Amino acid sequence: MELFVFVVAGAMVLGGALGVVLRSHPVHAALSLVLTLFGIAVLFVAQEAHFLAAVQVIVYAGAIVVLFLFVIMLLGVDNAEDLRVEPFKIQRPVAAVVGAGVLALVGLAILASRDATVPTVVQSEAVQEAALSPHDSNIKALARDVFSDHVLAFELTSVLLVIAVVATVMLARKPRKGEHVIEIVEGAGK
């Protein structure tokens, strides 16, 4: 059963990823990305990361992909890119070689360290206690970890999100009439 889940979700992940890279139409690529993200969420559930699976579906497949689709729709850039155009002659062979090299190196490292001994991790008492909870142990243990050991990082992420939102609003809004804005001048600096 676990093998079946892994094979199906793995096929979803890899098929969606290939779709993102190979589909010429941006909307099709975004929908392939949804397939990949759902496959990852299934694999999270298979590895007992229930909370992260829910967040994956809500944040990634829900918010981020919708953001992509909104940008495609608002700008009307949904025309297909001609994939036969190759701006640099050796770009694709080099990219294929580098990709295969990354896969071979990381794969060999994984296979070489397959039988490595796993160091024992000492978790804080609160996390250990939460992990004993019968039905919602994952979310409780995660909450104890985030809100006790990593509470400063958690607060900093909220600051980061506020900064990102303010920056994006400033970047994307249209300037009012008569307002001084910094224009990007065509051919400036040439």
Partner 1 sequence: MIAYEIPVPTTTWYLLLSAALFAIGTVGVMVRRNPLILFMCIELMLNAVNLSFVAFARQMGDIGGQSTVFFVMVVAAAEVVVGLGIVVAILRRKPNATTDDMAELKG
Q: Segment 24-53, which members bind partner 1 (CB under 8 A)? A: 26, 29-30, 33, 36-37, 40, 43-44, 46-49, 51-52
181 binds partner 1 per the rule CB under 8 A: no
What minimum distance in Å lies between the beta carbon of 178 and partner 1? 19
Count, residues near partner 1 per rule CB under 8 A:
85
8 binds partner 1 per the rule CB under 8 A: no
List the one residue out of 140, 98, 38, 186 whose CA is nearest residue 46: 38
Alpha-carbon distance of 190 to 184, in angstroms, equals 13
What minimum distance in Å lies between the beta carbon of 113 and partner 1? 9
Q: Return the residue of 125, 129, 133, 142 that touches partner 1, per CB under 8 A.
A: 142
126 binds partner 1 per the rule CB under 8 A: no
Q: Given its phi and psi angles, is residue 120 left (phi above 0), alpha (psi -120 to 50 degrees) or beta?
A: beta
134 binds partner 1 per the rule CB under 8 A: no
Alpha-carbon distance of 87 to 168, in angstroms, equals 31
Report CA Rg, the chain: 23
179 binds partner 1 per the rule CB under 8 A: no
157 binds partner 1 per the rule CB under 8 A: yes
Alpha-carbon distance of 102 to 57, in angstroms, equals 28
133 binds partner 1 per the rule CB under 8 A: no
Q: Return the residue of 35, 54, 57, 59 that touches partner 1, per CB under 8 A.
A: 59
Q: What is the DSSP letter of 59?
A: I
74 binds partner 1 per the rule CB under 8 A: yes
Contacts of 22 (CB under 8 A, 6+ apart): 83
